[in-house]
C-alpha cells in the first residue's frame, strides 16, 4: 500500500476510535454504508444526459467530489477491516480483466 493510503487509513482508524464508532464498523456495516454512498453519488447523475454528465458545473463537481470521497473512505475502511491491500487488489483485478478482455487487433 502506498504511503498516502497508509496515512489515510491510520487517520480513519483514529477518527473512528476517537468517536467510539469501532463497534459499528463491521465489514457488513461498512459494505452497507459504501452502497448507500455509491447511491448518493449516482443520484447526482440520475437525470442527466451523457453529455451533461461530462460537463458538470463547478458547484456540481464539488458535490460529486464529496460523494466520491465518501465512497473512497468507506471502501478504504472496509479493505482495512478485512486486511486487503486495496492497491494490490486493484492491480490483480486489472491483470484478470486484461486476460478476460484481451485487446482486439
- Of 69, 79, 104, give the one whose Cα is nearest residue 1: 79
CATH superfamily of 3-100: MazG-like (1.10.287.1080)
The pLDDT tens digits of the residues spanning 3-18 come to: 899 999 999 999 999 9
CA 79 and chain centroid, separation: 10
Question: Quick one: pLDDT at residue 1?
Answer: 66
Number of CB atoms found within 10 A of residue 29's CB: 16
Q: Record the cell numbers describing residue 29, joined without a space.
A: 456495516
Question: Quick one: pLDDT at residue 105?
Answer: 86
The pLDDT tens digits of the residues spanning 48-105 come to: 999 999 999 999 999 999 999 999 999 999 999 999 999 999 999 999 999 999 999 8
Question: Quick one: pLDDT at residue 94?
Answer: 98
Mean pLDDT of 33-55: 98
Amino acid at each position: 500500500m502506498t504511503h498516502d493510503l497508509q496515512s489515510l487509513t491510520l487517520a480513519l482508524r483514529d477518527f473512528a476510535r476517537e468517536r467510539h464508532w469501532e463497534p459499528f464498523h463491521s465489514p457488513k456495516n461498512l459494505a452497507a454504508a459504501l452502497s448507500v454512498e455509491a447511491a448518493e453519488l449516482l443520484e447526482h447523475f440520475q437525470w442527466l444526459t451523457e453529455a451533461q454528465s461530462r460537463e458538470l458545473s463547478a458547484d456540481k463537481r464539488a458535490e460529486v467530489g464529496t460523494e466520491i470521497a465518501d465512497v473512497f473512505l468507506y471502501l478504504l475502511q472496509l479493505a482495512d477491516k478485512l486486511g486487503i491491500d486495496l492497491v494490490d487488489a486493484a492491480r490483480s483485478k486489472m491483470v484478470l480483466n486484461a486476460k478476460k478482455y484481451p485487446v482486439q487487433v
